[in-house]
Structure 1
Amino acid sequence: MATKCLVFGTQCVAKSDHSQPKTGELAYRKGDILTIMRTGTGKEHYKARHNTTGEEGLISATNMREREAIRVDPSLSLMPWFHGKISGPEAVSKLRPVEDGLFLVRESIRHPGDYVLCVGYSSQVIHYRVMYQHSKLTIDNTQYFYNLIDMIEFHSKHKGAIATKLLKPKDKEGTKSAELELFNLVLFCCPLAVFEGDYIGQKVAVKNIKCDVTAQAFLEETTVMTKLQHKNLVRLLGVIVDNGLHIVTELMAKGNLVNFLRTRGRFVISTGQLLRFALDVCEGMEYLESKRLVHRDLAARNILVSNEGVAKVSDFGLTKVDCKASDNAKLPVKWTAPEALKKEKFSTRSDVWSYGVLLWETFSYGRQPYPKMSVKEVKERVEQGYRMEAPEECPPTVYALMRGCWEAEPKKRPSFHKLQEKIERDCLEIDSNPGQVARSEPEPTRLVRAGSNGSGS
């Protein structure tokens, strides 16, 4: 650990007591948890905050071990009361002896895609069909919910359209409630929906995951996601399990890349800055590529910009499982590779296709890709070989990269490593010739020479 660089927010566990600190040092006991605030006076010294006392001071890295990432028990469930595809009689047997307010949720066998809320009341079990309409759930066509967790939370507090409040969940055998087990996983509390706040002295963002299946899948992947550390990935700090799943990340003050570009435009943001955004994203994706992780929803809306103007990839752990895996209509068609749309074959090379569309978004200053084309037209024409034309004033080498990303055969697309090398060359040339990127002049021919074929193969 002594040779390892610790980043802001890293939590460490003391290996032994340090009860007689010198001036400026922090006192702690063996087993105490400390949070790194910044690098201190020497290579192995850091400014840290004691998680219990709140005191700050210098610590030695040699007396610390990095706290392990959140470990999630595979039996933990955000919906322990969800029993999957069981029949009505099976649900009744599981709810015996019947108690008022005892409940479970199952998939509807008679109406695939819908659910059934089974509730005990007056010594019998009542079955309420939960219909999936307009991307929301409803029992009575009056009250609508984003997901099952929201519905259960509501009916635990209000009777609404059902016979009784939901008082006691009947857990599926072999599951445990993640809410009870992990409630204090992240020390961040607010009774309302929170989008911004403070955590250990750092501004953070909190995002509620509305899709039940995605939230459960993300919970299972938390150990992996908290281990990912890269300057161009939005850092996951932890999760809150309270009436669903909320993820806590570093705050990206300038919002997503689409809005950042649209609100500033070509007279504020230079070609050089666009290239640096493209490089930032590529470096983040090259890191995910090295870890053999697939994003599945790479688009400018999922790239966030920091206060310092650094672009970072976000939502890279949220798309492993779609809310309804069989529902292709939910895929972002204009960003999704043909093989992923047709055969659900997602890979790093399908992410590369999406990166090509993201490049187009970036160099068109946030325009919607495939302008004036419907989703149906896009699917049909792309399959027939259609590719978007270059955005106005886009450097030829960048457009060549886009075309390389849009090769129909995934194996012919460049890797993110190759893309990174090519964009770095363009950035270096612009850095060494800043006067050549003036908007009033045509794009310089030097950009045509740098990686002119754009295939990356």
Structure 2
Amino acid sequence: MAKMNWAAGTQCVAKGDHRKPKPGELAYHKGDILTIVDTSTRKGFYQARHNTTGEEGLISSTNVREREALRVDPSLSLMPWFHGKISGPEAVGKLQPAEDGLFLVRESIRHPGDYVLCVSVSGEVIHYRVIYQDNKLTIDNTQYFYNLIDMIEFYSNNKGSIATTLLKPKQKQGAKSAELELSKTGWLLDITKLTLGENIGEGEFGAVYEGEYMGQKVAVKTIKCDVTAQAFLQETAVMTKLQHKNLVRLLGVILHKGLHIVTELMSKGNLVNFLRTRGRSVINSVQLLRFALDVCEGMEYLESKKLVHRDLAARNVLVSDDSVAKVSDFGLTKVDSKVSDNIKLPVKWTAPEALKKEKFSTKSDVWSYGVLLWEIFSYGRLPYPKMSLKEVKEKVEEGYRMEAPDDCPPGIYSLMKICWEQEPRRRPAFHKLREKLEREMGKHSPDPGSGRRDGIRSGSGC
């Protein structure tokens, strides 16, 4: 029996096609993602919205299953066929019993930095050396690949210059195929339904493009390096658990020449640029408060999930078409508090205890939030103006705190200061900050019922 108690906001995956809906019902195809809007008066039915067409209608609870979050699982691999450093004879042993097209990839012991593709064909195992040159991989100097994922994808569809197409990956023991898991849980999207548009940004790890997926405007983060893609798989797993109006929503991932992370498109870009390009003449203090509240609510939700963001700053907050601010870039989000990888920390946003002892917590996020408030109320200025990073580190440790931005409401500046308490436990939690901001909003907003986004003057080119 299907579960009968899904709450509004639950995402579901269609188990089959429903192409001839009766009046009031929703049409969909197998694999489509549908969001429950409301329970229905009809028994066994829900009112739902189609995630791509935006249409609403009734769906039968027996024809859908809940879209599961992806387990954060270190054995989840984009390259389950990659066995690391093993010898040729070991590889041959693993490819028994012989089966045409059974394959694995290993690191070359004889030629460090190169790889070997081992394929079983006609009862034998052929070893193809994969040469790494000019940041690309090749077996035959005619076909070049960005990474191993790309190469395996190609030879699974084309024989090229090898003896047989690759038919069956030999999984490394303990590895789970990310592709299978993503597909089972409903997070794997179809590359053929994606149209890529213009490049809208260069991330540290790859380009970000605007695009369209089945009629919906999306942003696509492309990650070509397979090692980085593997690391981002964990970020993606975290994002599948998170559903909140002030967090950028993950729509799914595409595995094609690396990893594509597909999220809702935030058409007004990041908050720093949004504020800098519009300025005081366009955006009033009610709208600034609105942004501050949006971010606070997103962070309160992360706090409730015991997740630490670690890189909260106005550059990592994006603004939607209807001017809602949403927290993005969960790239450093971790459940634990130690940074294992040597990440260059954003000094001006990072709490003193995190800089000195690498102690990250919700309370260090609160410190960063204080800096973000300063960015919002200074209309996107760079924090600690005219100070070097070394000076910032030393001065803050000695107790220095930034002055209030021009025309900043006193109530907001006192919030910044409590976020910057030296002792982490003395900083407020995000839910307390939200209450204080709501009170502040009450003071500035003459009529709370007058609509949510009236802080931007109409016709101002936003």
TM-score of the superposed pair, with normalisation by structure 2: 0.70
Equivalent pairs, count? 399
Contact 2:209/2:220 (<8 A) preserved: yes
1:179–1:242 contact (8 Å) kept in structure 2:
no
Does the 8 Å CA contact 2:195/2:213 hold for their aligned counterparts? no
Q: 1:55 to 1:405 in 2, by over 3 A?
A: closer
Q: Which residue does the alignment assign to 2:317?
A: 303
Q: State, as a whole percentage, how many aligned pairs show the same letter.
A: 58
Contact 1:46-1:59 at 8 Å conserved across structures: yes
> C-alpha distance in 2, partners of 1:333/1:214?
23
Q: Which residue number in structure 1 is paired with residue 451 of structure 2?
A: none
RMSD of aligned C-alpha atoms?
4.7
- Secondary structure of the residue that 1:196 maps to in structure 2? strand
Report the CA distance between 1:219 and its aligned residue: 2.6
Partner of 2:287: helix, strand, or coil? helix
Residue 225 of structure 1 contacts residue 317 of structure 1 at CA under 8 Å; is this kept in 2? Answer: no
2:29 paired with 1:10: no
CA change 1:364–1:66 in 2 (3 A) is farther
1:21-74 Cα offsets, whole Å, 9 max, x none, are 643434789x886624977997975355599xx997731566665522254594
In structure 2, stretches of 5+ residues that fail to align are: 96-102, 119-125, 138-144, 156-160, 197-206, 449-454, 456-462
Measure how far apart 1:195 and its partner are. 1.8
Q: Deviations over 1:366-394 (max 9, x none)?
A: 11112222222222222222222221211
The residue that corresponds to 1:78 in the other structure is: 78
Against the structure 1 CA distance between its residues 191 and 318, is the aligned structure 2 distance closer, same or farther, given a 3 Å change threshold? farther
Task: State the distance in 2 between where 1:433 and 1:73 align.
Answer: 45
Deviation at 1:361, TM superposition (A): 1.0
Deviations 1:55-108 (A, max 9, x none): 977315666655222545943312446666x6xxx5566456899x9753499x
* Partner of residue 190, structure 2: 187
Q: Are 1:257 and 2:259 counterparts? A: no
Contact 2:312–2:372, Cα closer than 8 Å, also in 1: yes
Verify the 8 A CA contact 2:309 2:365 in the aligned structure 1.
yes
Secondary structure at the residue paired with 1:368? coil
- Alpha-carbon separation, structure 2, partners of 1:355 and 1:336: 10
Q: Which amino acid aligns with 1:283?
A: E
In structure 2, how many angstroms separate the alpha carbons of the residues matched to 1:63 and 1:20?
Answer: 16
User: Contact conserved, 2:70 with 2:241, CA < 8 A, in 1?
Assistant: no
Quick one: distance in 2 between partners of 1:409 and 1:55? Answer: 47
| Alpha-carbon contact 1:38-1:46 (below 8 Å) kept | yes
Aligned partner of 2:423 in structure 1 is 409
The residue aligned with 1:379 is: 393
**Unmatched tracts of structure 1, length 5 or more:** 108-114, 129-138, 159-163, 439-457
The residue type equivalent to 1:310 in the other structure is: V
- Between the aligned partners of 1:396 and 1:56, the Cα distance in structure 2 is 46
Q: How does 1:30-179 map to 2 (within 5 A)?
A: 35-36=34-35, 46=47, 48-49=49-50, 58-60=57-59, 66-71=65-70, 74=73, 75-80=75-80, 91=87, 94-95=90-91, 103-105=105-107, 116-119=113-116, 142-143=134-135, 150-152=146-148, 172-179=172-179
TM-score (norm 1): 0.70
In the alignment, is the contact (CA less than 8 A) between 1:182 and 1:241 conserved in 2? no
Distance in 2, matches of 1:95 and 1:406, equals 56
Q: For structure 1, which segment, 202-211 or 271-280, has the greater mean C-alpha deviation from structure 2 after superposition?
A: 202-211
1:231–1:66 distance in 2 versus 1, CA, 3 Å:
farther
What's the secondary structure of 1:316's corresponding residue?
coil
Residue 268 of structure 1 corresponds to which residue in structure 2? 282
Give 1:422's aligned residue.
436
Structure-to-structure mapping, 1:441-452, within 5 angstroms: none
Match of 1:277 among 285, 291, 301: 291
SS for the counterpart of 1:246 is: strand
Indicate conservation of the 8 Å contact 1:72/1:220, yes or no.
Answer: no
